[in-house]
């Protein structure tokens, strides 16, 4: 497994390096190929039952196959992993949820290309790709070309070239390709989305997004995440994992949908220190991690400018000894919402907000205090008024099923619900692509001492016709 991961990584990174060098050659769209169709707002034919195949049964895989097998009107038809024992264990857990509905589930294991046999034999409606990053794009493409919709763990791609390949195949096959950005389904992220849609923050001007999560201990994994991610952190220097913070903020701002789109990015990284120090402290001098030259900075900071001149600060740090944070901030002309901790500050006079909300923010004053935060118990009135109806509907099931506080279950439920009811998916193809290419574009910017790099328009101008994500109840 380790040698396979390393070979796959090196192959991908060679391509990625070439991609950075040739970025200017792939940053602009060619005409949409004949017969291809724009996928923003795409609605697939309804499925009474969704037949699902799963590729990858590691840490994230367990969450997904547990949820999907528990959701009504699904059938898990195939489970695939390099390790047969892991795939068989996944089958047992699936059957435990519903042995009748999933009675015919087949296991595929032992070969890096065995998933292709699964796709050909089972012809699933939907494929979940839950594998190392460098396999996401090729497996997604294979799944769509085999006739399946596909949901892919983050990020969706590693290079701009891969991004275009995914876009072209999805548009050609008319199959959904959704990136599984679970944080968009967190309670507070849904709260802020609803408040944005109801205009509470006014005209949106600036956002801040981050994923701060010290994960150096993953380097101890011999056959899981750390065994392959460590090579990325050693050999790539940029904002490699931006989507947890960026996804919600981008949807607040309607980026890729009607109002605005990604314009340019400039990025810087700190020196690389933390992982080399961790390796020196925790592993023998001749250990593989002590033979790596860690090039990726401990903290990456990117500034994104939208086509309409709005700004987003996006940070990523999985190395520094900092408390966990998915910093989540949206700022507009009437106020600001901020996460970790959750708090708001608004600029409103009496009578301009629902009474309970205004009283919570202003007390006995005639105007809210935007010089101080409203947080803690005072937010109860805000939640009561602005909790997203999807969260309200799903909170009991989400609490029962779990997955990062229930957000994972809400996300997986919504995928199945949309396919069965003939709705667009909550995160369309182009959103997942745009959020993911922050990785390679930031690498290009860092390599050029913070030079501004343009985002390709993967919609080919069609984002202007795509309505904002509605408030789904």
pLDDT tens for each residue of 391-421 = 999 999 999 999 999 999 999 999 999 999 9
**Residue numbers in the chain where pLDDT is lower than 50:** 1-3, 15, 18-19, 21-22, 24-25
Q: How far is CA 278 from CA 232, 272, 281, 306, in A?
A: 16, 12, 5, 38
Residue 22 pLDDT: 44
Tell me the chain's radius of gyration from C-alpha atoms.
Answer: 22
Contact indicator for 390, 407 with CB cutoff of 8 Å: no
What DSSP line would sit under 303-353, residue for residue? EEEETTS-EEEEEEESSSS---B--EEEEETTEEEETTTTEEEE--BTTSS
Residue 222 pLDDT: 83
Q: Domains along the chain? A: 2-181 (3.40.50.720), 184-465 (3.30.360.10)
Residue 1 pLDDT: 40
User: Pick from 264, 254, 257: which is nearest to 311 by CA?
Assistant: 264
User: Pick from 428, 431, 443, 427: which is nearest to 265 by CA?
Assistant: 443
Residue 429 pLDDT: 98
Residue 24 pLDDT: 41
Instruction: List pLDDT tens digits, range 419-468.
Output: 999 999 999 999 999 999 999 999 999 999 999 999 999 999 999 999 99
Residue 90 backbone class (left: φ over 0; alpha: ψ -120 to 50; beta: rest): alpha
pTM for the model stands at 0.94
Residue 25 pLDDT: 39
DSSP, collapsed to helix, strand or coil, labels residue 43 as coil
* Joined tokens for residue 212: 């701060």
Distance, first Cα to last Cα, the chain: 44
Residue 466 pLDDT: 97
Find residue 345's DSSP bridge partners: 336
């Amino acid at each position: 497994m380790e040698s396979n991961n390393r070979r796959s990584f090196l192959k991908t990174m060679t391509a990625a390096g070439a991609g950075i060098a040739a970025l200017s050659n792939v940053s602009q769209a060619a005409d949409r190929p004949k017969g291809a169709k724009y996928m923003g707002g795409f609605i697939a034919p309804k499925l009474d039952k969704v037949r699902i195949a799963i590729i990858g049964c590691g840490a994230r895989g367990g969450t997904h196959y547990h949820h999907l097998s528990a959701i009504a009107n699904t059938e898990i038809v195939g489970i695939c992993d390099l390790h047969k024992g892991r795939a068989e264990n996944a089958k047992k857990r699936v059957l435990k949820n519903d042995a009748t509905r999933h009675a015919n589930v087949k296991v595929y294991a032992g070969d890096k290309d065995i998933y292709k046999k699964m796709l050909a034999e089972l012809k699933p409606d939907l494929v979940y790709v839950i594998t190392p990053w460098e396999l996401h794009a090729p497996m997604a493409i294979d799944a769509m070309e085999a006739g399946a919709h596909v949901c892919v763990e983050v990020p969706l791609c590693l290079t701009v070239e891969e991004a275009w390949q995914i876009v072209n195949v999805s548009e050609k096959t008319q199959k959904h390709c959704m990136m599984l950005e679970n944080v968009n389904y967190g309670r507070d992220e849904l709260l802020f989305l609803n408040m944005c849609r109801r205009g509470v923050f006014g005209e949106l001007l600036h956002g801040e997004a981050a994923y701060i999560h010290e994960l150096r201990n993953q380097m101890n994994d011999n056959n899981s995440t750390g065994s392959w991610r460590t090579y990325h952190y050693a050999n790539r220097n940029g904002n490699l994992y931006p989507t947890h913070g960026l996804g919600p903020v981008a949807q607040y701002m309607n980026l890729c949908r009607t109002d605005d789109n990604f314009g340019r990015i400039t990025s810087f990284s700190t020196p690389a220190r933390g992982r080399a120090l961790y390796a020196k402290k925790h592993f023998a001098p001749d250990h593989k991690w002590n033979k790596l030259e860690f090039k990726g900075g401990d903290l990456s900071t990117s500034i994104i400018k939208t086509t309409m001149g709005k700004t987003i600060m996006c940070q990523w740090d999985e190395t520094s000894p900092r408390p966990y944070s998915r910093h989540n901030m949206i700022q507009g002309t009437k106020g600001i919402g901020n996460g970790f901790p959750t708090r708001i500050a608004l600029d409103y006079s009496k009578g301009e907000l629902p009474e309970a909300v205004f009283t919570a923010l202003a007390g006995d004053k005639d105007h809210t205090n935007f010089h101080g935060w409203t947080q803690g118990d005072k937010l109860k009135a805000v939640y009561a008024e602005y909790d997203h109806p999807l969260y309200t509907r799903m909170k009991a099931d989400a609490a029962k099923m779990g997955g990062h506080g229930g957000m994972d279950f809400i996300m997986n439920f919504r995928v199945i619900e949309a396919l069965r009811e003939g709705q667009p998916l909550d995160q369309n193809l182009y959103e997942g692509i745009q959020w993911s290419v922050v990785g390679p574009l930031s690498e290009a910017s860092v390599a050029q001492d913070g030079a501004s790099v343009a985002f390709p328009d993967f919609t080919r101008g069609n984002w202007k016709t795509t309505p904002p994500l509605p408030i789904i109840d």
